[in-house]
Amino acid sequence: MNNNFLTNILPAEGGLEAAGTGKYNVVMAILGMLTLVGVGAGVHSLWVGHEHTFGVSRGVPWGMLIAAYVFFVVTSTGLCIVSSVGHVFGIKNFNPIAKRAVFLSIATIVAGFLVIAFEIENSWRMPVGNVIGANPTSNIWWMGTLYGAYLFFMLIEFVMLQKNLHKTATAFGLAGLLTGVAAHSNLGAVFGLLNGREFWHGPYMPIYFITSAAMSGCVAIIFFTYIAYKFNGWKMNDDMKKAMESVAKMGALMMAIIIFFTCWKMITGVTGQPPGKYEAMQTLLTGTYSMNFWGGEVVLGMIFPLLLILAVRGRNMHVLFIASLAGMIGIFFMRYDLVIVGQLVPAYHGMGLVDYPELLTYVPSLHENLVVVGGIAFCALLFVMGEKLFRGHLTENH
Amino acid sequence: MKIDDLEQMDSEDLRGLTSNERRKFLKMGLAVTGLYLGGTVLSLTSVKNAGAAGVVPEDGQYPYSPHYSMVIRERLCIDCERCKNACVKTNHVPAYGFRTTILEKRRSLGGGKHETIFMPVLCNHCNRPPCVRVCPTTATYKDEKTGIVVMNPPRCIGCKTCMTACPYNARYFKEETRAVDKCDFCFNSRLSKGESTTACVEACPADVRVFGDLADNKSRVYQLVHAPETMVWVLRPETGAVPNVFYINS
């Protein structure tokens, strides 16, 4: 039964032949090992308690694993958005990247779930607790539930695409897109609806999350498509190049919007020195996180990739790859800073307290780093495997 | 433009206005005035409800019965920490955590002199608790009868969203129960066993902390927060959490 199902959706011929088994096996072995190391670090932390292995604290309860989770689900939602441009909304230029984007949106969200499973102290209590204790006012509840539905829709869409049932695939693609956007804006609201956290509070977070998801999706699909072709020694046809150009241009537009958003976030954080928000913003602009912000977020994540894409008008694949590589790193910094800096201003700030820190600190521990590496390796493993199994995710003309 | 051309132009004075246009202008003026007048009347009618906007609830407006709350007579605190020790013993609070603590404020008196004020803090058992809103599994909830914010440890998944949501840093993760732990006004350790007050209140030698039912007008907490010429405040009122721990200066 299971085998029948697989033979139905796995392409037996056509498409692109993956690289030789030797190279493939070596890469899979390395990625598999790294995944196991990450899982090992995660299980060890669950066993002995996060307090002994993670850098998080009472004051900064969310660490790098939350940032990595946000990174993965932002990328997943973005890939879903990018895939829907062609598949759901019928813009033909985007069709060649759609299948890979759908597959990767599944791979990234699964990697995100792997990371969050080790961040949550008792993830095994979730399946039952989420049902019998369902709390409709909780954004975390909506986010988790909707992302569950999202994964389901994306899986069905992918299977339907493999079976060439395009009408059904489009319907599920649209369902996936809508639940993805709802889930993702709820993730933004997890931060944005906390009245006591001035840096996060407000409508900015959900709006920013969706826009930066669209940007991340463009960056990620360029990044992965280029690597897939390089790794397997394939040659891009003109349709694919055209698709990459279109995606790059959409990505450039999203970067411009994110730059605009970030400017106003900065200005509102500084003008009139709003209590709580100002201290956090200063940490980013001139404080301990200024290298992350200016170097990571602004240069790598926004300015550099935008200029590169504009300089070659989206037409030089090597330059696009460099832009996407810088973008991926920059986007990770964006997630990290957003999660950590939002918690650094302590609860009783501005009350003239003695022996009370003006700013809290957080440093990710070895275990946290290993779990993140494991998540990235697992995502990469699924990606490399997918390229081989689904023969380069080629779309037939129809 | 030459002076001759100016003479050729239509006059813009009031004589050129038709009575229709005058009427239209008057009507618009009336409409604008009416709108503002109406708005003012509406805003006046809502003043009655806005009266409760202070930190002390209006008489009779207590959602719970007994409506447990605490009054902290801040200036009396001498930082002896007996409240902390009593809490630790009574509620089995581990060394790495706390349910209540004492913060230290410093205020300039001019001339290089300062005064120190000790500020005990604990869970504020808010009427609109942010921690309860964000909990995905209702592992933390507001007790329907007493309004105490309590934990159901086996339900807690350890996502720690309540810890980021709490404006008062009142929560910590307790390894022993694998759940977030917090002050419950000694509900589990004392109140449910027939005691009438919390461990910290009982231990305080300076009568700083006063615990009781705000809905009962004979209780000390009621009389303290409703006493004339008393300054009553709460911590971080801007978060909209509507806390039930009141601070007074007398």
Whether the complex's predicted ipTM surpasses the cut of 0.85? yes
Q: Is residue A217 within 8 Å of A101, Cβ to Cβ?
A: yes
pLDDT tens digits for range A143-200: 999 999 999 999 999 999 999 898 999 999 999 999 999 999 999 999 999 999 999 9
Cβ of B137 and A130 within 8 Å?
yes
Q: Is residue A73 within 8 Å of A147, Cβ to Cβ?
A: yes
pLDDT tens digits for range A239-285: 999 999 999 999 999 999 999 999 999 999 999 999 999 999 999 99
Interface A-B: count of C-beta contacts within 8 A: 131
pLDDT value for A158:
94
**Stretch A343-360: mean pLDDT:** 94
Q: Which of residues 6-65 of B touch A (CB under 8 A)?
A: none
Taking all residues of chain A, what is their mean pLDDT, rounded to a whole number?
93
User: pLDDT-based confidence at B39, cuts 50/70/90?
Assistant: low
Delimit the domains of chain A by residue range: 19-346+358-393
pLDDT at B52 over 90: no
pLDDT at A326 over 80: yes
pLDDT value for A398:
41
Q: In what order do the strands lie in the sheet with B209-213?
A: B209-213, B68-73, B245-248, B232-233
Instruction: Give the CATH architecture of domain A19-346+358-393.
Output: Up-down Bundle (1.20)
The set of residues, in sequence order, having a beta carbon less than 8 Å from that of A287 and lying 6+ positions away, is A359
Partner A contacted by B235 (CB < 8 A): yes
Q: Which of the two residues, A212 and A90, has the higher pLDDT score? A: A212
pTM as predicted: 0.88
DSSP one-letter string for A273-331: --TTHHHHHHHHHTSTTHIIIIIIIIIIIIIHHHHHHHHHTT--HHHHHHHHHHHHHHH
Handedness of CA A156, A158, A164, A165 (dihedral sign): positive
Report the residue of chain A nearest B237, measured CA to CA: A196
Question: What is d(CA A18, CA A305) in angstroms, rounded to the nearest whole number?
Answer: 29
Q: Which of the two residues, B36 and B221, has the higher pLDDT score? A: B221
pLDDT at B44 over 80: no
pLDDT value for B9:
76
Fold of B54-248: Alpha-Beta Plaits (3.30.70)
| Angle, alpha carbons A190-A191-A197 (nearest 5°) | 135
**Lowest mean pLDDT segment, chosen from A19-23, A107-111, B209-213:** A19-23
User: pLDDT-based confidence at B48, cuts 50/70/90?
Assistant: very low
Question: What is d(CA B18, CA A184) in angstroms, rounded to the nearest whole number?
Answer: 60
**Stretch A27-54: mean pLDDT:** 95
pLDDT value for A152:
97
Q: Is residue A297 within 8 Å of A333, Cβ to Cβ?
A: yes
In the 8-state DSSP scheme, what is residue B120?
E
pLDDT value for B148:
97
Among candidates B106, B133, B238 on the partner chain, residue whose Cβ is nearest the Cβ of A137? B133
CA B58 to chain centroid: 14
Lookup: tokens for B70: 């605490």
User: pLDDT-based confidence at B53, cuts 50/70/90?
Assistant: low
**Which residue type, as a one-letter code, is found at position A19?**
A
pLDDT value for A7:
66
pLDDT value for B46:
45
**Lowest mean pLDDT segment, chosen from A92-106, B24-38, B60-74:** B24-38
pLDDT at A58 over 70: yes
Interface-testing mutation among A56, A58, A190, with chain B (most B C-beta atoms within 10 A): A58
pLDDT value for B24:
87
pLDDT at A11 over 90: no
Give the H/E segment covering residue A353: strand A353-354
The set of residues, in sequence order, having a beta carbon less than 8 Å from that of A373 and lying 6+ positions away, is A34, A37, A38
**Which residue type, as a one-letter code, is found at position B141?**
Y
Tokens 């196991």 appear where? A36
Q: How many CB atoms lie within 10 A of CB B81?
A: 16
pLDDT value for B40:
60
First to last CA, chain A: 30
Residue B113 β-bridge partners: B110
Among candidates B105, B169, B173 on the partner chain, residue whose Cβ is nearest the Cβ of A59? B169
pLDDT tens digits for range B54-111: 888 888 788 898 999 999 999 999 999 999 999 999 999 999 999 999 999 999 999 9
pLDDT tens digits for range B187-223: 999 999 999 999 999 999 999 999 999 999 999 999 9
pLDDT value for B68:
96
pLDDT tens digits for range B105-159: 999 999 999 999 999 999 999 999 999 999 999 999 999 999 999 999 999 999 9
Number of H helices, E strands in chain A: 15, 1
In the 8-state DSSP scheme, what is residue B127?
S
Give the H/E segment covering residue B89: helix B82-91
pLDDT value for A109:
97
Among candidates A125, A348, A355 on the partner chain, residue whose Cβ is nearest the Cβ of B157? A125
pLDDT value for A2:
52
Question: What is d(CA B90, CA B81) in angstroms, rounded to the nearest whole number?
Answer: 14
pLDDT at B32 over 90: no
pLDDT at B42 over 50: yes
pLDDT at A1 over 70: no
Report the residue of chain B nearest A342, measured CA to CA: B164
Interface-testing mutation among B101, B159, B166, B169, with chain A (most A C-beta atoms within 10 A): B159
User: pLDDT-based confidence at B49, cuts 50/70/90?
Assistant: very low
The set of residues, in sequence order, having a beta carbon less than 8 Å from that of B9 and lying 6+ positions away, is none
SS3 state of residue B246: strand
Cβ of A125 and B137 within 8 Å?
yes
Angstroms from A256 CA to nearest CA on chain B: 31
Give the H/E segment covering residue B82: helix B82-91
**Stretch A98-126: mean pLDDT:** 95
Q: Which of the two residues, B250 and A354, has the higher pLDDT score? A: A354
The radius of gyration of chain A's CA atoms, rounded to the nearest angstrom, is 21
Question: What is d(CA B83, CA B208) in angstroms, rounded to the nearest whole number?
Answer: 10
pLDDT value for B50:
41
pLDDT value for A200:
97
Q: Is residue A210 within 8 Å of A80, Cβ to Cβ?
A: no
User: pLDDT-based confidence at B47, cuts 50/70/90?
Assistant: very low
What are the φ and ψ backbone dihedral angles of B37, each rounded to 5 degrees?
-60, -45
Report the residue of chain B nearest A130, measured CA to CA: B137
**Stretch A129-144: mean pLDDT:** 94
Tokens 């809103």 appear where? B133
pLDDT at A224 over 60: yes
Closest CA to A318 of A394, A214, A222: A222
Closest CA to A201 of A136, A268, A256, A263: A268
Angstroms from B53 CA to nearest CA on chain A: 18
